[in-house]
Amino acid sequence: MLKQLKDLNEVVHLWDLDQENRDIKMEILEMWKKKLTKDEFEIVLEICNNFNYYSEKLTAQAYKTIYKNNTFNIDKLNIFLNQSLFFPLRKKDRIESAVDMFSSFRLVNKIDANRTRIVCPADYLMNYKTNIDELRRLVKENDQMSSVDIEMIQNLQKQLIIHKKNKVILTQLNKRINKLQKIKDKREHLLNKKVEILNTNYLSVKNMIIIDDFIGTGDSVVSFLKKIGSIIEDCSISIKFYLWVIEASESGMKAIEEIVEQLGIDISISYYKESIDVLAEDKIFSTENINEVREIIRNINKRNKLRPSRYCRNHAIASFVNAPNNNLTLLSEDSSTWTALFLRTKRNKDERKISSTELKEAYAFLRQ
């Protein structure tokens, strides 16, 4: 018993936790110990012994290493940074875990806030494309109108020569010329402002650096790449993409590389550490024992009604923000008979029903 308790303490002390959270993890492991057979618990404990927990401190260290590894060979780093924007890999208009992790990356690497955007990267590219299309239309219209204005001004200037001795007509002609010139100048001034904004926010950006935490199946990244591929296809947008993450799985990277080749997107992916499948052969358990280990894990899941999701890749990782959905199920999922060691928190959809009074008030507001 004393030896076992020592083993639990050693495992828990692998993670950068405060004392309160260490005590919580110890309680969960003690609960597991009581629920599982000796062989089962030893297997689960060995998996926990290989669990990577990224506290705020370790997350910052990982992101600092990633940044350093990807920038130390860049000539004229200041120019590179001035031509770059940093984004979290987010998909919805809410505070996702990627935003919290992005904050850690930005702060530890002292990234200028002006070089960051919190919007979805795909939305940024869509706005980029929309702005290009709109400005091209406006430039074309302005060129046509300016051509007409110039021709009219030139004709009026010819009239000045013809009527040079008639002061009344000269005054009228000069007023018309000045009016046309002012209209032309004002229109071009407004257009210049819009072009300057386009250049500052979009055309000057040569690199998009996207920050995320973990790549498991790679589905999120593949979905993102398909979306940006559809946006920049047959478009003059020319940007180099970078994806920097803490951990990535071999299978996830393979799925991403396949879609990158298919779409022809210029992207470089870098990660701090490779995620492992804890139930793969010769990772934690030997080839001789792996089938027995897998069967034991299946039985634990079955007894406790734990159902692996389609994203499960049997990883053993978590950050101070959340645990990924590709973890080994028993590590991050709860049930009525099981307590997760690093629980994956899920966002519940707001199903609040709007009352008839609120609906009437909304209509009244819209009809004002």
Which pLDDT tens digit goes with each residue over 319-337? 999 999 999 999 999 999 9
SS in 3 state form for 8-36? HHHHHCCCCCCHHHHHHHHHHHHHHHHHC
Backbone angles phi, psi at 126, to 5 degrees: -65, -40
Mean pLDDT of 84-98: 77
How many contiguous H segments (helices) and E segments (strands) does the chain have? Answer: 13, 7
Is residue 75 over pLDDT 90?
no
Is residue 94 over pLDDT 90?
no
Average pLDDT, the chain: 91
Handedness of CA 11, 22, 326, 301 (dihedral sign): positive
Q: Which of 17, 6, 24, 15 is nearest to 339 (CA)?
A: 24
3-state DSSP helix/strand/coil % of the chain, to nearest 5: 60, 10, 30
Mean pLDDT of 347-357: 67
Q: What tokens were used for 326?
A: 């590709």
Is residue 26 over pLDDT 90?
yes
C-alpha distances in Å from residue 53, one per residue of 56, 122, 189, 318, 324:
10, 30, 55, 5, 11
Place 93 in a pLDDT band, splitting at 50, 70 and 90. low
327: exposed, middle or buried (Cβ count in 10 Å: 0-12, 13-18, 19+): buried
Is residue 6 over pLDDT 70?
no
Place 5 in a pLDDT band, splitting at 50, 70 and 90. low
Single-letter amino acid, residue 220:
S
Q: Mind listing the pLDDT tens digit for each residue in 283-304?
A: 999 999 999 999 999 999 999 9
Place 1 in a pLDDT band, splitting at 50, 70 and 90. very low
The structure's pTM equals 0.86
Is residue 368 over pLDDT 80?
no
Q: Which of 315, 311, 346 is nearest to 330 (CA)?
A: 315
Which residues, other chains included, contact 175 with Cβ-Cβ below 8 Å and sequence gap of 6+?
Answer: none
Q: What tokens were used for 18?
A: 């405060």
pLDDT at 362: 81
Single-letter amino acid, residue 211:
I
Q: Mind listing the pLDDT tens digit for each residue in 157-192?
A: 999 999 888 889 999 999 999 999 999 999 999 999
| Out of 17-21, 32-36, 91-95, least confident range | 91-95
pLDDT at 131: 92
pLDDT at 143: 93
pLDDT at 203: 92
